[in-house]
Amino acid sequence: MKFSYNWLRELVEGLDASPRELAQLITLKTAESEGVETHGSDHVIEIDNKSLTHRPDLWGHHGMAREVAAILGRLLFDPVKHIEFRGEAPLRVRIDDHELCPRYSALVLENVTVQPSPLWLAQRLEAVGLNPINNIVDVTNFVLAEIAQPMHAFDAAKLQGGEIIVRSALGGETIQALNEESYALDPSNLVIADSGGPIAIAGIIGGAESAISDSTTRIVLESANFNASSVRKTSAKLKLRTDASMRFEKAQDPVNTIRGLERAFALLQEVSPGIRLVGGLADNYRPQPLQAPIVLPLDWLDRKLGRAIPGEEVRRILESLEFRVEVIEPRVFSVFVPSWRATKDVAIKDDLVEEVGRMIGYDSIPPIAPLTPASVPPASPQREFHYQVRKTAASQGFTEVQNYSFVSEEMARAFSLDPAAHVQVVSPIASDQNLLRTSLLPGIWKNINDNARHFEHFRLFEIGRAIYPDREVPRFAAALYAKDDGAAGLFELKRLAECALPGVSIHPTDSSASYEHPRRAADVLYGDSKLGRLFEFHPRMIEGGRAAVLDLDLSRLFELQPGSSRYRPLRRFPESAFDLSVLAAPRALIADVQSAIVILAGEPLLSIAFLREFTLPTPSGEKARSLSYRLTVGATDRTLSADEVGAIRSRIIDGMRAAGYELKV
């Protein structure tokens, strides 16, 4: 919203602040200024519309002038002079639903001369970004910019029947609007109609047919009030925002319709000499219930602001903003809200805290530490766990990325995910980013290929949410890229998994997804519980190198975190250790052989560690693997004798042989 500095100066007595000072004051006390620009001999202060959404009165210069006068302690001039419109209503106004149109006021004027506006009027409009058109239209726009009352002038000769009807549009009705666009209307749109059909879209734009033209001699001057929500919906539906609709959307004051006519008539007499009223005022309205005054206890106000403010100062501030103040008991005010603040802005005593607070200046309030009992806040162990995982990954060289939550259907399919099982976005940022991710892998995959352009090798990870229709699940994914054969990366990630949750195991699977290396893919398990996957991306998906990936359900990982455990006494008796080497098939699993040994060893086995493997030829010419393990055995109550240890060893060897393994002894 643009405000003319010269215009404000006409409305505030002795305004001596410079345009920049004024903009700064308005920013600090009322609404956010976005800058000051010179416009001929005038200056224009641009105020951010978003900071005016709750203030219908500030969509006109008079409303802003009231703020300025209050801030500076000056007198405010009212440009509207009261006029008594006597005589019969010159036309009938029918309002079907007063909820949608609380008030419709109109004058009929004749002996109109349509001509260009005088310079002062044209300049005012241009300064605030409105195009001068002709004296009649310009006056309506001037009133809009001055007192925030949108108005419209119809050419009376083009109206059919003697009645203005405010009604819902009928299905199939269309209107050719002033902007030369045609709009198809439906019953959710409120229109102004005559007996021939719609002549304006209520509160938004007038029709072309009844527009003011050079030949116009008689006009109907509309000054109405429309329901904010209705105007907003129609404006959004028709994709048509106008200076009028922007104001009505903010819930304008129904009292203002008459002020609009008074001001417009005064101006028209000036710019269209000889113009005459036909009859009196047409005014159809539903009486507005008076808003009850707000009871404002001053002690409560002080407690809310955290600073004592003398009652006299509170009163001065409220009265400077034209609230009426009555003292109902010592230190309790009864505050009457002016009509232009009562439409939805100020309704409860909390709203008055703001009026007083901003005017005394928030900077005048000293910061005070609250006196509350000391307490330890409830912990958030899951969040803490996520942070530990982040630190673990970072300590092992992985750098954290954050990817978007959106994926395309194509990408979902590439990762074996069903697009239909995803939550879908109605109007995505890009037409193909219409799904909410259920996997971190598409993002990680993109990260790998993007970064492969800049690095020979790298490690990265992400913690983010997989979003399903019924739940959000935190997930962890890490990747390691290198220009090698890819094997080392898988073991780095295996170590990362073991660090994140000691006790996880890796179980290679025969079946793999299309994006996985068919022989380098495994489930990550904890006991029988599946936590995720460890795999290498299928080499066809990665340019120039190999990429290993660890993909985990972080919520499962969290649930499985061990609590604090009890101390185990140190062993009192020495342990014994011996090594075993088992000959196994080329694709036998180290873990499987180890499990077999563990079962055979039984209770005396304290620990077992895989030592090394080497390949050796068998008599049949095939290759075999020799897998070596170190076993540590012992008892809690004595030192095992050499014979006992030998017996354990023999039992294992015999057992393994019986199970079909060959052992080098």
Q: Considering only residues 333 through 352, tell me which ones interact with other proteins, judged by CB under 8 A.
A: 348, 350-351
Distances (CA, A) of 116 to 43, 112, 131, 138, 614: 24, 13, 12, 9, 100
Selected binder of other proteins within 84, 172, 369, 658 (CB under 8 A) = 369
Task: Choose the binding region for other proteins from 255-263, 417-425, 552-560, 601-609 (rule: CB under 8 A).
Answer: 417-425
Give SS3 for 418.
coil
H/E element holding 133? Answer: none
320 closest CA partner among 72, 77, 64, 70: 70
H/E element holding 634? Answer: none
Whole-number minimum distance, CB 375 to other proteins, in Å? 6
Whole-number minimum distance, CB 373 to other proteins, in Å? 9
Does 445 bind other proteins (CB under 8 A)? Our answer is no
Eight-class DSSP state of 501:
S
Q: Are 3 and 128 in contact (CB under 8 A)?
A: yes
Site string for other proteins, 30-69 (x = CB under 8 A): xxx-xx--------------xx-xxx--------------
Q: Are 162 and 140 in contact (CB under 8 A)?
A: no
Our CB check for other proteins shows the closer of 98 and 358 to be: 358
CA atoms within 13 A on the CB side of 655: 17
Whole-number minimum distance, CB 366 to other proteins, in Å? 6
Does 577 bind other proteins (CB under 8 A)? Our answer is no
Binders of other proteins among residues 279 to 318 (CB under 8 A) are: 303-307
Does 559 bind other proteins (CB under 8 A)? Our answer is no
Our CB check for other proteins shows the closer of 69 and 153 to be: 69
Task: Calculate the CA 558 to chain-centre distance.
Answer: 29
Task: Choose the binding region for other proteins from 21-29, 177-185, 551-559, 569-577 (rule: CB under 8 A).
Answer: 21-29
Eight-class DSSP state of 478:
E
Those residues whose C-beta lies under 8 Å from the C-beta of residue 354, and which sit 6 or more positions away, are: none
Binders of other proteins among residues 423 to 442 (CB under 8 A) are: 423-429, 436
Does 97 bind other proteins (CB under 8 A)? Our answer is no
Q: How many CB atoms lie within 10 A of CB 205?
A: 23
Does 239 bind other proteins (CB under 8 A)? Our answer is no
Q: How far apart are CA 185 and CA 170, in angstroms?
A: 7
Our CB check for other proteins shows the closer of 115 and 380 to be: 380
Our CB check for other proteins shows the closer of 53 and 288 to be: 53
Task: Choose the binding region for other proteins from 213-221, 355-363, 589-597, 643-651 (rule: CB under 8 A).
Answer: 355-363
Does 363 bind other proteins (CB under 8 A)? Our answer is yes
Whole-number minimum distance, CB 118 to other proteins, in Å? 35
Our CB check for other proteins shows the closer of 98 and 651 to be: 98
H/E element holding 508? Answer: strand 505-508
Does 537 bind other proteins (CB under 8 A)? Our answer is no
Binders of other proteins among residues 373 to 392 (CB under 8 A) are: 374-378, 380, 382-383, 387, 390-391
Whole-number minimum distance, CB 392 to other proteins, in Å? 10
CA atoms within 13 A on the CB side of 110: 6
Task: Choose the binding region for other proteins from 461-469, 502-510, 558-566, 627-635 (rule: CB under 8 A).
Answer: 461-469
State both tokens at 90.
């010159």
Tell me phi and psi for residue 76, to 5 degrees.
Answer: -105, 130
Does 482 bind other proteins (CB under 8 A)? Our answer is no
Strands of 61-129 (E only): list them: 92-95, 103-110
Which residue's entry shows tokens 């199970």?
Answer: 659
Phi-psi category of 312—alpha, beta or left, where left has phi over 0 and alpha has psi -120 to 50?
A: alpha
Binders of other proteins among residues 181 to 210 (CB under 8 A) are: none
Give SS3 for 285.
strand
Our CB check for other proteins shows the closer of 336 and 445 to be: 445
Distances (CA, A) of 60 to 41, 142, 609: 21, 9, 82
Give SS3 for 533.
strand
Count of residues that bind other proteins according to CB under 8 A: 87
Q: How far apart are CA 518 and CA 569, in angstroms?
A: 46
Whole-number minimum distance, CB 177 to other proteins, in Å? 22
Q: Are 257 and 225 in contact (CB under 8 A)?
A: yes
Q: How far apart are CA 483 and CA 144, in angstroms?
A: 69
Give SS3 for 292.
coil
Our CB check for other proteins shows the closer of 449 and 581 to be: 449
Task: Choose the binding region for other proteins from 156-164, 317-325, 460-468, 612-620 (rule: CB under 8 A).
Answer: 460-468
Site string for other proteins, 243-262 (x = CB under 8 A): ------xx------------
Distances (CA, A) of 1 to 52, 65, 128, 206, 357: 9, 14, 8, 22, 24
Strands of 556-652 (E only): list them: 576-584, 605-617, 623-633
> Three-state SS across 566-599?
CCCCCCCCCCEEEEEEEEECCCCCHHHHHHHHHH
Q: What is the CA radius of gyration of the chain?
A: 40
Selected binder of other proteins within 394, 487, 611, 616 (CB under 8 A) = 394
Whole-number minimum distance, CB 251 to other proteins, in Å? 9
Task: Choose the binding region for other proteins from 102-110, 123-131, 364-372, 524-532 (rule: CB under 8 A).
Answer: 364-372
Does 357 bind other proteins (CB under 8 A)? Our answer is yes
Does 443 bind other proteins (CB under 8 A)? Our answer is yes
Whole-number minimum distance, CB 24 to other proteins, in Å? 10
Does 358 bind other proteins (CB under 8 A)? Our answer is yes
Our CB check for other proteins shows the closer of 373 and 617 to be: 373
Whole-number minimum distance, CB 226 to other proteins, in Å? 13
Task: Choose the binding region for other proteins from 130-138, 317-325, 395-403, 626-634 (rule: CB under 8 A).
Answer: 395-403
468 closest CA partner among 420, 534, 409, 402: 420
Does 651 bind other proteins (CB under 8 A)? Our answer is no
Our CB check for other proteins shows the closer of 465 and 538 to be: 465
Our CB check for other proteins shows the closer of 436 and 552 to be: 436
Eight-class DSSP state of 114:
-
Does 237 bind other proteins (CB under 8 A)? Our answer is no
Phi-psi category of 308—alpha, beta or left, where left has phi over 0 and alpha has psi -120 to 50?
A: beta
Selected binder of other proteins within 367, 563, 574, 619 (CB under 8 A) = 367
